[in-house]
Amino acid sequence: MTADTYANDHFELFLDQLKTLARIPSCSWDGFDFVHLETSANQVADFMTESGLEHVEILRIPGVHPYIYGDWLHAGADKPTILLYAHHDVQPPMREELWKTPVYEPTIVGDRIYARGIADDKAGIMVHLASITSCLKSTGKIPVNVKVIIEGEEEIGSAHLMDFLKKYSAKVQADVMVLADVGNYDTGIPSLTISLRGLVTLQVELKVLDHPLHSGIYGGPIPDPTIALSKILAKLVDDNGNLDIPELNAMIKPLTPTERAMYKSLGMTQEILRDQATMEPGVDIFGEDDEILERMWRKPSLVVNSIESGSRKSAGNVIMDSVWVKLGLRTVPNISRKSAIELLKKRILELKPWNVSLTFTEEARGDFWLTDSDHPYFEATRIALKKGYDKDPVYVGSGGSIPFAGPFSEALGNVPALLTGIEDPYTNAHSENESLHLGDFKKAIISQIYLFEELAKIGKK
């Protein structure tokens, strides 16, 4: 039996294992019970062992959510060693009342399965383990040497990644990386991601009072902190949705003619985006059709992740004492995290009205990443994806961030990083009703089996 046949015949087993992982609420954010990350790590380790991987262990750094490691290194010294990456931590559930299915009980509806983490990134874990299992159970070998790293803090910015690399650098040496943590351009269209935006997050608190005051007695002479914040936020972007931080905008690396032609060939339109994003009727979209992908992949953007002043459920007739906001700024090539955070803070201070008290709290996140796709391993990936999906793959960018990608590639000597995935525009990663397309899940597993074969043909480079 061939490995791809085994994968097809045992797809329900792999799906059941995915469901088991998704039932574990392994959120890495503060305020959640971290015991679930330990449960998740142990379950991943068990599945690694069942797959046939060797030297399976949970890797520890004090105070850091667990990583899991396993390997199979019997293909020979002339074959490349592939480092397979995914992460087992997940985002918070967000507003549970908006979920149409139970948050942590995987539920199939039509051709999709719903649960938090089902696509981002527990399906990525299972693509790796299912492809390894299919090779070892069918033929007793894998065409290449493999190492698997499953991270536990990706969703909070991989803040201790450099500590991990310093401690375990010898263990993770490889010739190429495969990161199963991005998405396809559309359902059924295999995609290879060659750029990522970075991310910096900044908490801002404005304070005007020691405690809330009666709005009837004190309203008028005393500034409202939320109105002060609103004046700042309104001026951080212009009327066309562009980030209004001139010094930062001047750093943006322009698209090359080749990149611009690639984006245009994908055929994105406002109508397609409106459907994918499930926008409310009549809401504006920033940018014409041929600008949309550049805005999503290669231009900085600013969003309000959360804002708080008072309570919606118990709003009183008061002037609130303070307001808090968490801002997320996506960065692009030529804009470092350090530059981005400093220029954002500088602009906020310039816009601050009425001498309100203002404090910042920075959070660690990831830098942008951009790769050269000329290496022969990229062509091998294109061949594998075409065989697995029966459709020509496309090169794409991603507006999201994977903090692991750049530093890990650099630590391994700038080895090629192949970013594949099984999310699609309808996945709702990080939002309510996260889902995974079952057909693409199977195709991703089979594609990775073919990728092992194609990389083995090329050998070490």
404 — pLDDT class (breaks 50, 70, 90): confident
Q: What tens digit of pLDDT does each residue of 277-333 get?
A: 999 999 999 999 999 999 999 999 999 999 999 888 888 899 999 999 999 999 999
Closest listed residue to residue 86, CA positions, set 7, 146, 32, 13: 146
Look at residue 427 in the predicted model and tell me its pLDDT: 95
Q: What tens digit of pLDDT does each residue of 90-108 get?
A: 999 999 999 999 999 999 9
CB 44 within 8 Å of CB 125 = yes
State the CB neighbour count (10 A cutoff) for residue 353.
14
Please state the pTM of the whole predicted model.
Answer: 0.87
Look at residue 161 in the predicted model and tell me its pLDDT: 85
Question: Does pLDDT of 250 surpass 90?
Answer: yes
Token pair for 243: 């980030």
Question: Does pLDDT of 144 surpass 80?
Answer: yes
Instruction: Read off φ and ψ for residue 135, nearest 5 degrees.
Output: -70, -50
User: Any long-range contacts for 238-241 (C-beta under 8 Å, 24+ apart)?
Assistant: 240/286, 241/286, 241/287
Q: What tens digit of pLDDT does each residue of 198-241 get?
A: 999 999 999 999 999 999 999 999 999 999 999 999 999 999 99
Question: Does pLDDT of 408 surpass 90?
Answer: no
364 — pLDDT class (breaks 50, 70, 90): low
Domains and their CATH numbers in the chain: 3-196+368-458 (3.40.630.10), 198-260+290-363 (3.30.70.360)
Any residues with CB less than 8 A from the CB of 380 and at least 6 apart, and which?
451, 454, 455, 457, 458
- Which whole number is the average pLDDT over 60-72? 96
- Which whole number is the average pLDDT over 185-209? 95
Token pair for 338: 């350090």
Q: What tens digit of pLDDT does each residue of 14-40 get?
A: 999 999 999 999 999 999 999 999 999
Mean pLDDT of the chain: 95
Look at residue 418 in the predicted model and tell me its pLDDT: 95
Look at residue 133 in the predicted model and tell me its pLDDT: 98
Look at residue 430 in the predicted model and tell me its pLDDT: 92
Closest listed residue to residue 160, CA positions, set 314, 324, 366: 366
What's the rounded Cα separation, in Å, for the pair 81 and 171? 12
CB 402 within 8 Å of CB 369 = yes
Question: Does pLDDT of 365 surpass 80?
Answer: no
What's the rounded Cα separation, in Å, for the pair 288 and 265? 15
Token pair for 325: 């906001």
Question: Does pLDDT of 275 surpass 90?
Answer: yes
Q: What tens digit of pLDDT does each residue of 146-177 get?
A: 999 999 999 998 888 888 988 998 899 999 99
